[in-house]
Structure 1
Amino acid sequence: MRDPLIHHAPHRPMSGTPQFRDGLQVRTWLTLWAMTYNLLRAAGSLASAFHAKATTATLRAHLIQVPACIARSARRVTLHLPYNWPWQYAWTHLFDTVHGPPG
């Protein structure tokens, strides 16, 4: 069985990958890449059962690239999600789980 981190590696856009000069830069870049991957997978698991099994491209399209309008008023920020957006329930469930009251 292959490691899931390596399994999904070919599906990532690597066009912005910098040219490395030493091993420290490579390790730093891979560490940041792995942290981003793990946070995205955790967000998918918290959002819904469908997103827990989804690819990283699907998670980016459904949960990260949110078509919302940002409104600011009285020091509060409000996100206005589109009407009948297909992933509104998953996104609001993720948001409420992460930003819920302290337990």
Structure 2
Amino acid sequence: MRRVKDARYPDALFPVWRYHPFFTDTDEPVDVADITHRRHAIIETVFADLIDGPLAHMPSGRFGANSAWILCAAIAHNLQRAAGILAGGAHAVARGATLRRRLITIPARLARPQRRPILHLPAHWPWATHWLRLWRNTIGHSPPATAPT
């Protein structure tokens, strides 16, 4: 049994605790078993991201093709997590589908009128600041001048 202070009651006269029971078949002490189970919960989230994303469409029944697909999926997942951390805010812990929807699949276009690049971002796009932070943290400078579309 693990006890955690309940954050919903910060001004309580006495500390309020929540208890989280868990079952295990290991011989580890409770605190070590709790850490092991939390690590397992993290990997389950990674598996869920991969299954909802690239692993939903395994290409063939051939081992070599599936092996290459899984390798590409792992690389893409790691790049996506790094992009989320570089974008900051809630994107640092967001799921893969959220990162794809908010940062990767952006409704923008790059134009070069008069041979000067201009980035056309949507006028009221709610994640523009996060995307621009990702750009600056990755490239090292601001993107080409932005023009709302």
Q: State the TM-score, normalized to the length of structure 1.
A: 0.82
Cα distance change on mapping 1:34 and 1:76 into 2, 3 Å: farther
Q: Which amino acid aligns with 2:66?
A: V
Asked whether the equivalents of residues 86 and 92 of structure 2 are also in contact (C-alpha less than 8 Å), the reply is: yes
- Residue 8 of structure 1 is matched in structure 2 by 49
CA apart distance, 1:74: 4.9
Partner of 2:111, secondary structure, is: strand
Which residue pairs with 2:61 in the alignment?
A: 20
Give the whole-Å Cα distance in 1 for the aligned partners of 2:47 and 2:132. 30
CA contact 2:50–2:77 (8 Å) conserved in 1? no
The 2-side partners of 1:69 and 1:78 are apart by 8
Q: State the alpha-carbon separation in 1 of the partners of residues 115 and 80 from structure 2.
A: 29
CA apart distance, 1:76: 4.5
| Structure with max Cα Rg | 2
How many pairs align? 99
- Is 1:46 aligned to 2:86, yes or no? yes
* 1:50-84, Cα deviation, whole Å (9 max, x unpaired): 00111111101100111113212355533211112
Q: Does 1:94 align with 2:94?
A: no
Partner SS for 1:8: helix
Structure 1 outlier segments of 4+, above 3 Å: 73-77
Identity of aligned residues (%): 38
Corresponding position of 1:36: 76
5+ long unaligned stretches in structure 1 = none
Residue ranges of structure 2 left out of the alignment (5+ in a row): 1-39, 142-149
User: What amino acid is the match of 2:47?
Assistant: I
| C-alpha RMSD of matched pairs (Å) | 1.9
Name the structure 2 match of 1:61: 101
Cα separation, 2, equivalents of 1:19 and 1:75: 45
Q: 2:124 aligns with which of 84, 93, 97?
A: 84
